[in-house]
Amino acid sequence: MTSDNGTARPKPKDDRPHQAGPSLEKPELLVGSNLPDWDMEPLAEQFRIHKLWEAPDKAALLAKCAGVRALAAPGHRGADAALMDALPALEIIANYGVGVDAIDLEAARARGIRVTNTPDVLTDDVADIAIALALSVMREIPRGDAHVRGGGWAKGNLPLARRFHGCKFGIVGLGRIGIATARRAAAFDCSIGYFNRSPQPASPYQAFPTIRDLAAWSDVLVVTVAGGAGTRALIDAAVLQALGPRGFLVNVSRGTTVDEAALLDALERQAIGGAALDVFLNEPHIDERFKALPNAVLFPHHGSATVETRRAMGQLMRDNLTAHFAGKPLLTPVV
Ligand code: 8YV
């Protein structure tokens, strides 16, 4: 068996022959999360669907999934090796999201399971949210909203906020989302600095040798790196200290990229100016301490959550599944 690029890959653990020639049997698909109708309806035409998120007893459902050949993985919640083991006929994991840090890629490789994701189609929405969160925390938009709704306005004005345009805008991770965010910040006349693991000599922005140096320079530090073991707790107590009481943190990557205990401590002590977060550890059951912090803007992992982008993500996920079952090259393969 060869992959799209012609390299040999291990045979699937289950070597029952794939359906050859025309068959009336629809292949079986396990869907991990509640997808919109505009995805579920076409999927149901193409596949026999098992709904993992609805099953009161997941083990009982998985026991009926021996014939499942494809998994529509739930974005940032992914698929671990135990789930792959429970699906002995699994051939492909089509992830509903760009980040594949929650998919055990080694386990997939070892079992000959293909993995796809949804890059590019969500880049601009996530970059929009990065800017929106920076504006929200620096201009204190949620606090202003609460002030008006709560009747505080008639009693007095809010304290002054901080200017966003023209600020020093630091980006951790100059990938697709980092670059799209930088382009937006440039339109706000921000000076742009970045830290990236590999040098980007063609980039017009100022490179910093360490995240700490970047944080010390930045008015707002925006984290856009991919999640996973290699980026765990990149933003640690030392980075937050360098950011300092006038600096703001924005995270649109993964909760894992920030040392959350250090962040909570820094916010509680007002050792940084504030934070605006789209991502957390243990979503959606985030640390309760966040909710008491007036200097934090909290957003429910909704960076890609627009109708337009979710339609495009669903389409790309389905196109990868269709390509796989038609024996065609995958559109956006990861493994
Ligand atoms: C989620 C994301 O996947 O693309 C990613 O990596 O984090 C998001 O777009 C989305 O919330 C679907 O679960």
d(CA 90, CA 188): 47
Q: Assess whether 9 carries a catalytic annotation.
A: no
Looking at residue 23, what is its pLDDT?
56
Task: Tell me the pLDDT tens digit for each residue of 249-307.
Answer: 999 999 999 999 999 999 999 999 999 999 999 999 999 999 999 999 999 999 999 99
**pTM over cut 0.85:** yes
Q: Give yes or no on whether 28-121+308-325 and 123-298 have one common fold.
A: yes
Place domain 28-121+308-325 in its CATH homologous superfamily.
NAD(P)-binding Rossmann-like Domain (3.40.50.720)
Task: Tell me the pLDDT tens digit for each residue of 170-198.
Answer: 999 999 999 999 999 999 999 999 999 99
State which H helix or E strand residue 248 sits in. Answer: strand 248-251
Contact 96, 317 (CB under 8 A): yes
In this structure, which amino acid lies at residue 78?
A: G
Q: Which of 50, 76, 111, 254 is catalytic?
A: 254
Ligand 1 within 6 A of CB of 75:
yes
The best mutation among 96, 257, 279 to test binding of ligand 1, ranked by most ligand atoms within 8 Å of the C-beta, falls on 96
Ligand 1 within 6 A of CB of 35:
no
- The CATH code for residues 123-298 is 3.40.50.720
What is the Å distance from ligand 1's center to 75 Cα? Answer: 5
The domain locations on the chain are 28-121+308-325, 123-298
Ligand 1 within 6 A of CB of 98:
yes
Q: Helix, strand or coil for residue 2?
A: strand
Measure Cα distances from 224 to 93, 118, 176 in Å: 24, 16, 9
> Alpha helix locations (H) across the chain?
37-46, 58-63, 81-86, 105-111, 123-139, 141-149, 176-187, 211-217, 237-243, 260-268, 307-325
Interior/surface letters 110-124, b for 16+ CB within 10 angstroms, e for the rest: ebbbbbbbbbebbbb
What is the Å distance from ligand 1's center to 186 Cα? Answer: 26
Ligand 1 within 6 A of CB of 97:
yes
Counting from 1 in the atom list of ligand 1, the atom nearest the Cα of 305 is 11
pLDDT in tens, the chain (335 residues): 333 333 333 444 444 444 444 457 999 999 999 999 999 999 999 999 999 999 999 999 999 999 999 999 998 889 999 999 999 999 999 999 999 999 999 999 999 999 999 999 999 999 999 999 999 999 999 999 999 999 999 999 999 999 999 999 999 999 999 999 999 999 999 999 999 999 899 999 999 999 999 999 999 999 999 999 999 999 999 999 999 999 999 999 999 999 999 999 999 999 999 999 999 999 999 999 999 999 999 999 999 999 999 999 999 999 999 999 999 999 999 99
Peptide bond into 284 cis (omega under 30): yes
